[in-house]
Each structure stands twice: as structure tokens, then as C-alpha cells.
Amino acid sequence: GDSVTQMEGPVTLSEEAFLTINCTYTATGYPSLFWYVQYPGEGLQLLLKATKADDKGSNKGFEATYRKETTSFHLEKGSVQVSDSAVYFCALNNAGGTSYGKLTFGQGTILTVHP
């Protein structure tokens, strides 16, 4: 079956540091890939997505590129802020048009950014 593996956390950085959170996946066919974020006390939010190979998703300074050859979708940000402290989840959808919301999630990575 489909699966998503994220780098182990927690990740602790100083403000303005560079962030990478690794994500690799196993799936048949051509899944869509996502990063979700959960800020303290809030529900999960879609951060960015990519629906085909070589697509780059971007939002709020975060980027991730769909790499089919390495089955990866690593999340990056050039300069993190304290407000980026949250839990980040990598996810995929392989159900296609029958169920765009049926997602397989990774285990999540806790990010803490210090001033």
C-alpha cells in the first residue's frame, strides 16, 4: 500500500536559519503530494501541493518539488521565523478523482524556532 516517511523530529532552529524537512513516499501510479501544517491550537491546514512530477509547490516562503525519480517531496524555507513553529505533515493522494481528500500522511515533524 501507499506510505509516506518523514524525517524524525523534533527540529529546533534559530530564527532566519534554513529549513529542510525530508519526505519520501511509496505509491503506485502518479500520486499528488502535499504538505500540511498544524499550528498550536489550530486544525491542519494545506500549506502547499504538487500534482505531477517536477511541479514545485510554494506558499508563505515554503517550497517543495515533486521528484518522481527519488520519490521525494522535501519541504524547504530559506529563513524561518518564530511563527513557523508548528507540526508539519507530508501527505499523498492516490485515489484520484474518486476521492481527492483520501490522504496518506507521514508521522509529522515538530518544528520549533527560537528567537
Partner 1 sequence: GAGVSQTPSNKVTEKGKYVELRCDPISGHTALYWYRQSLGQGPEFLIYFQGTGAADDSGLPNDRFFAVRPEGSVSTLKIQRTERGDSAVYLCASSLTRAGPGELFFGEGSRLTVL
Site of interaction with partner 1 (CB under 8 A):
4, 32, 34, 41-46, 49, 51, 89, 91, 93, 95, 98-108
Tell me the closest approach of the beta carbon of residue 1 to partner 1, in angstroms. 11
Please, are residues 34 and 49 in contact by the beta-carbon 8 Å criterion?
Answer: yes
CB of 21 to partner 1, least distance (A): 13
How do strand 75-77 and strand 104-105 relate by DSSP bridges?
unpaired
How many angstroms separate the CA atoms of 46 and 111, rounded? 16
Between 29 and 43, name the residue whose CB sits nearer to partner 1: 43
Q: Smaller CB distance to partner 1: residue 43 or 115?
A: 43
Q: Is 40 exposed, middle or buried (0-12, 13-18, 19+ CB in 10 A)?
A: exposed
Query: Which of residues 40 and 115 has its CB atom nearest to partner 1 in the complex?
Result: 40
For residues 98 and 110, give the distance between their C-alpha atoms in angstroms, rounded to a whole number: 32
Q: How far is the CB of 79 from partner 1 (least distance, A)?
A: 26
Minimum separation from the CB atom of position 101 to partner 1 (A): 5
